[in-house]
Structure 1
Amino acid sequence: MSQTDVMPGCEPFSHVGTGSTGVLVIHGFTGNPSSMTHQATAFAAAGHHVEQPRLPGHGTTVEDMMTTDWTDWSGEAAAAYDRLAERADQIVVIGLSMGGTLTLWTGLERQDDDRLKGLICVNAATAPQPADMMAMVQEMIDEGNEVMPGIGSDIADPDVTEIAYEGTPLKQLVSLSNDGLAPITGRYGELSVPILIFSSTEDHVVPPESSAHLRDTAGGPDSDLVEFVVLERSYHVATQDYDKDLINDRSLEFIDRVTNA
């Protein structure tokens, strides 16, 4: 983990709950824990153990992020899961955007762990970037560019701003697509735990088709494991947008149901 100073409000969050259920909360690409503070604190208030890591290179500077890749981010997600497993007998994982990718990756990596009870994805990235998009990104890299305009703060509520980098590091975007998404996008049928999917109808970062792909492939054909919730009032960062309380309420209901609380 970098020693670069963490921006105020972007710190990781860890909470010791009063029950047996733990929730792993994972933020998105170029974001930080602040984008899901509303959810993490609600889970803690409900008595759950919570681990909300700050992924390597996030919440500091974009230059810091440029020293990291998918291996670093997934490694921290796995470490946070293990920290949670030390005090929780039942675990649910929730993630926003790339955090949703990491949620699905965790589900596949830990599918033999009886403690894993469910996955929650909010506007998750579930498939690699289109080939023409990645060709354009690679061309930019070949021309010596390292960063393109940022993707943060896609929020419908004009009174809310996400703390996120102003730029998107290109090589890291390639790593997310090639190292993170490509190996798992065809494997969602292997998932055998319940999945709650939140999908915004208008999303300027990850197209709604990404959530639809997960809905249509997770758990195998005709699966009854998947619950799909459409968010009609929020953009990409729905966890901070008009539907943030809906996400909390439905997530808490889901957690109680899959853990038989």
Structure 2
Amino acid sequence: MNARVDDPLLNAALDAPQTPCVTPHEFFLPGSGEAGRTGVLLVHGLTGTPNEMRLLAKGLNRGGFAVYAVQLAGHCGTPDDLIRVRWTDWTASVHAGAERLRAQVDRVVVMGLSMGAVLALELAIARPDLVDGVGALSATFRYDGWSIPRYTRLSFLLPLFRLLGIGRRRAFMEQPPYGIKDEALRKRVVEQMNSGDSSAAGLPGNPWYAVIEMHRLSSHVRRRLQSVRAPCLVLHASEDDISSVNNARLIARRVRGPVSLVLLHDSYHMITIDRERRTVTTLATEFVGRLAVDADGTAAA
């Protein structure tokens, strides 16, 4: 019998065992056949939403895999919601999501975009028992891409600002090209970001206090990358405007598990929705499929 808790969203999930979702913005796609024994946990980025993983999720699900796109704490709401949480709240979201997904499948692969990639690696470090593979897409340990304004190099001062109570309402606003090389798609996404509905395309800027937490998460994971022994797929745009390819190379250099590093040449940061989204989906599906084969000794189909 499922235990009851003082959380109506979680109770709803317990009453519906076919889905691990606990918020209205998360989504779950059940798997099929032998492939359905493998689940993929998708993790969005800072100020993002599960929506930015939807195209990838559908592609993975067409391969038969179960897919769960989790929502990070503080996201899909207001800037105030985001700055109330700490980086450990984001890791708790991912850990809980992995546990809920693992209850329905035999193995879990975690894939994240941008900061979500760092959170995916953190899960592999902290809970190797839950992780059979990692997909790091546009991994962002540092905002060092070519579109990042020079003044953001002063972000090391942000912890002092918070200590002094300065900048609670301030944010680093997104800059063109907003991580998207496809101009028509970029226009639609920017309209959504500015619509006031953060659950559709995220917030139009990164609150200073949230950036502080992202830096702390990044530092925590960088120091422990050598603990990652799960196979890793690392996908990164060679012209990433938000995070340079050095972020991807850091993973390839430090993790202990087998690494496949692939650079994309016709996309910017948001590779799950940009021009090479089909390539990303194909590579991700093949990666998960190989892990399923290795685990079973037979092809997942």
- TM-score normalized with structure 1 length: 0.87
**Structure 1 CA distance, aligned partners of 2:54 and 2:143?**
27
1:75: Cα distance to partner? 0.7
What whole-Å deviation, never above 9, does each CA across 1:147-169 have from its counterpart, x for those lacking one? 22333731001111441212211
**Structure 2 CA distance, aligned partners of 1:76 and 1:203?**
27
SS of 2:272's equivalent? helix
The answer to whether the 8 A contact 1:128-1:182 is kept is no
Matches within 5 A, 1:132-211: 133-138=154-159, 141=162, 142=164, 144-146=166-168, 147-151=170-174, 153-161=178-186, 162=189, 163-178=201-216, 180-211=217-248
1:86: Cα distance to partner? 0.4
Q: Report what 2:194 is aligned to.
A: none
What whole-Å deviation, never above 9, does each CA across 1:95-138 have from its counterpart, x for those lacking one? 00110011000111121x1x522100111123698x95333434
Q: Report what 1:25 is aligned to.
A: 42
1:55: Cα distance to partner? 1.1
**Structure 1 CA distance, aligned partners of 2:64 and 2:231?**
21
SS of 1:238's equivalent? coil
For residue 124 of structure 1, what is the amino acid of its counterpart? A
Q: Which runs of 5+ in 2 are unaligned?
A: 1-6, 10-23, 145-151, 190-200, 294-299
Higher helix share: 2
Q: Which has the larger radius of gyration?
A: 2
Q: Report what 1:125 is aligned to.
A: 140
Match of 1:91 among 95, 105, 108: 108
The answer to whether the 8 A contact 2:120-2:134 is kept is yes
Q: Matched residue pairs, number? A: 246
**Structure 1 CA distance, aligned partners of 2:173 and 2:276?**
23
For residue 98 of structure 1, what is the amino acid of its counterpart? M
**Structure 2 CA distance, aligned partners of 1:231 and 1:119?**
18
SS of 1:25's equivalent? strand
Matches within 5 A, 1:1-261: 11-18=25-32, 19-111=36-128, 113=129, 116-126=131-141, 133-138=154-159, 141=162, 142=164, 144-146=166-168, 147-151=170-174, 153-161=178-186, 162=189, 163-178=201-216, 180-219=217-256, 225-260=258-293, 261=300
What whole-Å deviation, never above 9, does each CA across 1:187-212 have from its counterpart, x for those lacking one? 22221111000011112222211111
For residue 150 of structure 1, what is the amino acid of its counterpart? M
The answer to whether the 8 A contact 1:239-1:247 is kept is yes
**Structure 1 CA distance, aligned partners of 2:88 and 2:228?**
21
What is the RMSD of the two structures over their aligned residues, measured on CA atoms? 2.3
| Residues 1:128 and 1:206: Cα distance change in structure 2 (over 3 Å) | closer
**Structure 2 CA distance, aligned partners of 1:41 and 1:176?**
28
**Structure 2 CA distance, aligned partners of 1:203 and 1:143?**
33
Q: Report what 2:14 is aligned to.
A: none
SS of 1:172's equivalent? helix
For residue 137 of structure 2, what is the amino acid of its counterpart? V
- TM-score normalized with structure 2 length: 0.76
1:246: Cα distance to partner? 0.5
**Structure 2 CA distance, aligned partners of 1:133 and 1:33?**
30
SS of 1:121's equivalent? strand
The answer to whether the 8 A contact 1:29-1:99 is kept is yes
SS of 1:259's equivalent? helix
**Structure 2 CA distance, aligned partners of 1:165 and 1:238?**
18
The answer to whether the 8 A contact 1:126-1:214 is kept is no
1:89: Cα distance to partner? 0.5
Q: Which runs of 5+ in 1 are unaligned?
A: 4-9
